[in-house]
Structures are given as C-alpha cells and as structure tokens.
Amino acid sequence: MALVELPDWAALAPVLALAATALVIFVVDGIDPRRTDRQLLAGLAAGGSLFALALAVWFSLAGVGDPGFELFGGQLVVDEMALFFVVVVAVVTALISIASYDYMTEHAYQAEYYSLVLLAATGMATMATANSLVTIFIALELASLPSYALVAILKENRGSVEAGLKYFLIGALSSAIFVYGVSLIYGATGHLQLGAIADVIAGEAEAGAGHAIAEFDGMLGLGVLMVIGGLAFKTASVPFHFWAPDAYEGAPAPISAFLSSASKAAGFVIAFRIFTEAFPIDAMVGIGVDWTVAFVVLAIVTMTVGNFAAATQENVKRMLAYSSVGHAGYALIGLAGLSGANGEFVLAAAMMHLLVYGFMNTGAFLFVALAEHWGVGRTFADYNGLASRAPMASVAMTVFLFSLAGIPPFGGFFSKYFLFVGAIGVGSTAMLVVAAALVVNSALSLYYYSRLVKALWIEEPTIERATLTKPTGIYAAIVVAAVMTVVILPGFGPVADAATAAAAALVA
C-alpha cells in the first residue's frame, strides 16, 4: 500500500515545475527590481528545468504514462508520448538556461528573459499533454507569445526587433489558419476532443446535431488541410518555413537553439497526437481523405528545399536555420508512413530523431552563441582557423555537424537509419521515394556541414585573434550536448524502447 496517494493532477508535475519556476523568477526579481543577480536567475531557470526533466524521467520509468492519466475530462493526457516530449523540452530548456548565463551578460531584462523562456517551455510541455483541439490551441499560443518576445528581446538590435516582428505577424497568420481549421472540424463532427472526433469519423457516434459525417466530408477535409498548414508553420515545414531563417538569424543564438529544437519538437508532438488519435487513417480513407499523401509531399519538399537552401548559404546561422527546415522534413516521415503496416515503427523513429536532434542542433546553435560572444563574424570565412584557438569547442561542433549529417558513430546516424528502415518497411512506392530523398538529402547536408568543419580546422584565419575567453556557462552546455550526442548511440536502446512504447500506445 502506498504511503501517500497523490491526486491524478500530480501527473502534470513536470509541466507545473516549469510554470512554477517562471513565477518564482518573477517574484525574485520583484523583491528588488533595481538589482539583478544573474547567477541566481540563471540557476533558478536551469534548476527548474532539470527538476522538470528529473520528474519526467522518473514518471516514465515508474510507468505513470502506461496506460496514462486523463485529466479535466480528457482535455489533457499524461502518457508515454507526453513524457517523452516533456523530456526533450526540459533538456533543451536546461541547456539554454545554462548557456544564457554568459550570453546575456551585458543585456538588460535578465529576469524577463528567463521567465519568458520558462513560460514558453511550459507551453511546449503542455502541447505534449493536450488532448483536445482547444487545449492544443491554448498551449500553442502559450508557447508562441513568449517566443515572439524572446526573438525581439535585443531591443537595441535592429535585426532582432525586425525578426521578432516578422515572426509575430506570420505566427498570427498561422494561428488564424489553424483555429479556422479547428472550427471547420468542429462544424463537421460536433466535437473538439480528439477521441470523440475519431469516434464520429469512424461512425461510432453521431455528430453534434445528428448530422451524418458523410454530408460534411468536404468541410472536414478542408479543416484537416488547414490544421496541417498551421502545424507546418510551427514545425518550420515548407511552404511555411520562410520565417525561420530571419527569426533564427535575428534572435539571440540561445533562443535560435530553443526555437529550432524544443519548439519544433512541440510542434511535432501535437501533429503526432492529432493525426493518430483524431483522424485514424483507415477511417479517413473511408470518407475519401488520405492525409498521409499530404505528409509524403511535405516530407520530400521540406527536406529538399531546406537542404538545397542551406547549401547556398554563406551565413552560418542561416545555414543552420535552413538545416533545421531539412530536419523537419525528416521528422515528417513519421506521419507520412503511418498508413503502412510498419507505421508504428516509423512514428517511433521520428520521435527518436527529435530527441537526438534536441542535443545536436541545440549544441550547434550554442557554438554559434559562443562565436558571437567572442565577436566572431557570421560567415563561414569568419570561422576560419577557430579550432587553433578553441579546440575543445571546435571538436564539439564537429561532433554536432557530423551527427546532423547522419555520420556514425554519432546519435544522428541511428535516428536517420531507423527512419530509412522504417520508410522502406512501409513498402509503398511513395515511401520508397521518401527513403531515397532522405539518403540524397543527407548526402547533400554532409557537403555544407563539411564546409564549416573545413573552415574550423583547415582554413587559415583571415584575421589575428587575441586569446579567446572560455565562458563557463556556454562551454558547459556545449560539452554536455556533445557528450550526449556521442553517448546516446551506444545507449540508444532505452531511447528506442521509450519511443516505441509511446508510438505503440498512440497508434493502438
């Protein structure tokens, strides 16, 4: 018999820990607003993120997510997939908080910065638990609104303010598209909760006013298409990707890492949940709406456009931004392959890739943050010879880049390998084309990642540099991310098991 019986809402403890940390930072800053204790603020943010991470890992190991908890009438659900993605969000948030201690040294609004990061992380973690189109939209906005402010937080930097404005305007448009799609789905089915929508589509329940779903399949199809559009913006998928390069380039580099890793993972978790739970593929095909076709096209186009655009860049930050678009295409394979018998494995592979991506992509952007801290320029030529002055950081960056390209023995190799095997295993001609596109685009990515490795290690520096400082926070975050990118390959078993269990529960 348990010594303490916890209420069901305690399953939300990882999410609540992030929210509580944001509020604590507000309170600490409010006690003496004219004095800024950077160490305390950064420590609170990193500590709260790590506490949320520990809770999520503990809950996952303890079986809290199996079979999971439904809360507030099924509006939120804490299952294996929710805990898996809360881990991703918490890991990235902790790395960003640690690195920001040095990066934000000379900037004002320290408490506001860390609070916004934690509030955005709270929204992303809530997205992982949302089980209704209404709660998904609310969580989406909770993540988005702080993100707009974070991109533009360097108020004296014109590029940052301009990037924040663009991000806000395009984000508002995408939110409108998403919520209009939600309204069409509600009009067709009479429900907003994902399971209830699936029941209506499967013919197991009647729609709101006794409608037959067949009378509204056109409305439902348009609603699904608009929801895909709204989610494509959040995941920086083509053709809704054009905000990403400007936002990532203008934002502080740690925020670029945060948006391209945690925010992308959060966007995919709601995509996975919506399309597996609300729109089961067999039932949707029965009414003439096969949404996997849209994701097949999106996956191929997104990875191709992202990688070809990255290959033409001279600005390192924009190269990583377009690389992030390409990786969104890889993750979309998880949805593109759900129609086959191997769909569960493909979805699990996409989840594995997003976890590994959280380490390697965050680390790559944090290396850019380190370069900006040193006053290094933004082009490939500006990075020439940097390895002679900062060998440890350059080794870490090399690990990140080769892992992003999918080169063994790094974590990115295994996740891409599973995606490739999963796509091949589906057996359809379309998925064979997707698998071929994955291989071709990975080979192309090696070209532009190698350009930066060459600049770091082989090219002669264009200017003489003084001794470079070693900011503790950024270095610590980079080293941790690099170690995890390497260690996660031999330790991939638990990651694969967790992702497979989450995908199985979702697809079942």
Alpha carbon distances (Å) from 122 to 14, 54, 214 = 9, 15, 39
Q: Look at residues 334, 333, 332, 330 and name the one whose alpha carbon lies nearest to residue 347.
A: 334
Distance CA 95, CA 201 (A): 42
Tokens for 297, please give them. 């096209």
**Domain boundaries, given as residue ranges, for the chain:** 290-508
Q: Which stretches of the chain drop beneath a pLDDT of 70?
A: 1-6, 204-216, 508
Partners of residue 379 on adjacent β-strands: 315
Element spanning 334, H or E = helix 316-336
Distance CA 98, CA 506 (A): 34
Tell me what pLDDT residue 435 has.
94
- 70 by DSSP, 3-state: which? strand
Partners of residue 193 on adjacent β-strands: 132
Tell me what pLDDT residue 208 has.
44
Tokens for 147, please give them. 């993100």
Query: Would you say 286 and 147 are in contact if contact means Cβ atoms under 8 Å apart?
Result: no
pTM: 0.93
Q: Look at residues 207, 210, 186 and name the one whose alpha carbon lies nearest to residue 133.
A: 186
* 126-163 pLDDT per residue, tens: 999 999 999 999 999 999 999 999 999 988 888 889 99
Query: How would DSSP label each residue in 263-309?
Result: IHHHHHHHHHHIIIIIS-HHHHHHTT--HHHHHHHHHHHHHHHHHHH
Question: What phi, psi does 176 have (nearest 5°)?
Answer: -65, -40
Q: Who's near 78: CB < 8 A, 6+ residues apart? A: 11, 12, 59, 64, 65, 68, 69, 71, 129
- 76 by DSSP, 3-state: which? strand
Tell me what pLDDT residue 437 has.
96
H, E, C per residue of 151-183: HCCCCCCHHHHHHHHHHHHHHHHHHHHHHHHHH
* 63-104 pLDDT per residue, tens: 887 777 888 888 999 999 999 999 999 999 999 999 999 888
Tell me what pLDDT residue 223 has.
92
Q: Look at residues 312, 271, 35, 274 and name the one whose alpha carbon lies nearest to residue 132.
A: 274
Rounded-to-10 torsion of CA 336, 341, 344, 348: -60
Alpha carbon distances (Å) from 328 to 25, 332, 350, 388, 468 = 33, 6, 10, 34, 34
Q: Look at residues 221, 350, 269, 272 and name the one whose alpha carbon lies nearest to residue 507.
A: 272
Tell me the Cα Rg of the chain. Answer: 22
